[in-house]
Structure 1
């Protein structure tokens, strides 16, 4: 089904693992389309309750666009953005499943954008991030202009994008770009543990939380209050709401089914 990534579903977790180590998992059109396909498959699979996006090895999460394959279209990058990158990012943000990004190494350029499109990021101490676009005379793309200033603020976003400087895992944590930094030898185990926690959570409610938060940055207070009301009704119809209330009243841990 896939040639440039590994896809596996285990214990309600869909693992999407980029697998182009020879080019540090650089993004070419084929890999981008496979990521989009894998995210859509996991999003539609009722057995999947959380998605993990990471890469093979320890050196790189994603080094960005594969310029060696893209030189022929370098004069019109908009064509590739609209055809490949934008659908990938939208698939991730529109997925009703939480997406955990596992930063095992450097995330640069479009690879940084790919990481920022995840819902939560867990980083190895060897990880790093860089909006390196400016080093080849390009602007940020693949969603970085949307995600980055919402996380770090407009002035810091400008500084990071206009210099392209490399951020260590610790600085990424301090800026709020990642949620946790762990020793390299604990990275895979920690990533799996966080995924397991989400796999046992009320999936319907988490999907609705993601949907509401996606709207919050460009909606008024009145619009958000109404959106909360609409989606709270939806959440209250779920099996997990009934189980959550019952478990609370019975003073026991809830056994959520993701329904």
Structure 2
């Protein structure tokens, strides 16, 4: 799929990296990039070959948010519709996702990172829900993500003031998974992605679905039922057979290529 504002790079090990590429704008997202992000996330999900996705930005920054300067006249509704679709398709992905953050991740840019399963940031990364400073309210799922990650009261503080947070401060709030030196981020994310890509794809996908369902308001009874369904799927699969054989033979398991992950639990 041809793209203008993204780079899509694949390794032989099942890791796909999506690079937001408007470095002259600190990767601020215009209407075209929103559309490309949604289309790319959907294509990766439907392709059944990629096992892990890394989302990052070009030129030393992750994303400075939405490019409001690119809006013309009545484009706002289309702009927000495509932005929301990008958030929906990112959340709907059943493979593990990692945000690799350097430089700024503010506004919608921070919420793109928070929409990923894991966030790895450099020590120089900076984060802000900057919307209020532009007389705007949260978007790209920020109003849904923040309370689930930090609780309602802290989410309101972050949103009301629009303060800038260092990577360490964001990590202390539980909004960054790991903080590393700028020179180490490529190797760190590559190691994490390769480890996940080598894992049992269906089990990881079902684990992601179970955890997401829990924070979206499911009861313990629903979780137990969903867990039972997931284990039936897992135990009947080739990866579980390989895992058992590898354990008995005292070797590292070699899991199969990503299967279609149409089986869901609920």
TM-score (norm 1): 0.94
Which segment is superposed worse, 32-41 or 19-28?
A: 32-41
Per-residue CA deviations over 1:28-47 (Å, capped at 9, x if unaligned) read: 11101111111122222232
Rounded Cα–Cα distance in structure 1 between residues aligned with 2:237 and 2:89: 24
Q: CA RMSD in A?
A: 1.5
Matches within 5 A, 1:22-33: 22-33=24-35
Matches within 5 A, 1:104-143: 104-143=102-141
Contact 1:123 1:182 in 2 (8 A): yes
The match for 2:237 is 238
Unpaired runs of at least 5, structure 2: 260-266
- Following superposition, the deviation at residue 71 of structure 1 comes to 5.2
Matches within 5 A, 1:6-21: 6-11=7-12, 12-21=14-23
Where 1:101 maps in the other structure, the secondary structure is strand
Where 1:107 maps in the other structure, the secondary structure is strand
1:181 to 173, 179, 182: 179
The match for 1:65 is 66
Per-residue CA deviations over 1:4-40 (Å, capped at 9, x if unaligned) read: 0101111211110010001111111110111111112
1:149 to 147, 150, 155: 147
Contact 2:62 2:103 in 1 (8 A): yes
The match for 1:91 is 89
Equivalenced residue count is 255
2:164 to 163, 166, 177: 166
The match for 1:56 is 58
Contact 1:25 1:63 in 2 (8 A): yes
1:47 to 38, 49, 54: 49
TM-score (norm 2): 0.91
Per-residue CA deviations over 1:57-102 (Å, capped at 9, x if unaligned) read: 21x211111011125348xx55533x21221112111111111110
- In structure 2, relative to structure 1, the CA distance for the partners of 1:103 and 1:186 (3 Å cut) is same
Rounded Cα–Cα distance in structure 1 between residues aligned with 2:227 and 2:91: 18
Per-residue CA deviations over 1:183-226 (Å, capped at 9, x if unaligned) read: 01111121111111111111111111111112112111111111
Per-residue CA deviations over 1:216-258 (Å, capped at 9, x if unaligned) read: 1211111111111122212222211111122223222211224
Rounded Cα–Cα distance in structure 2 between residues aligned with 1:249 and 1:78: 58
Contact 1:94 1:211 in 2 (8 A): no
Which segment is superposed worse, 13-22 or 242-251?
A: 242-251
Where 2:62 maps in the other structure, the secondary structure is strand
Rounded Cα–Cα distance in structure 1 between residues aligned with 2:247 and 2:34: 43
Per-residue CA deviations over 1:152-209 (Å, capped at 9, x if unaligned) read: 1111111000000011011111111111111011111211111111111111111111
- Following superposition, the deviation at residue 135 of structure 1 comes to 0.6
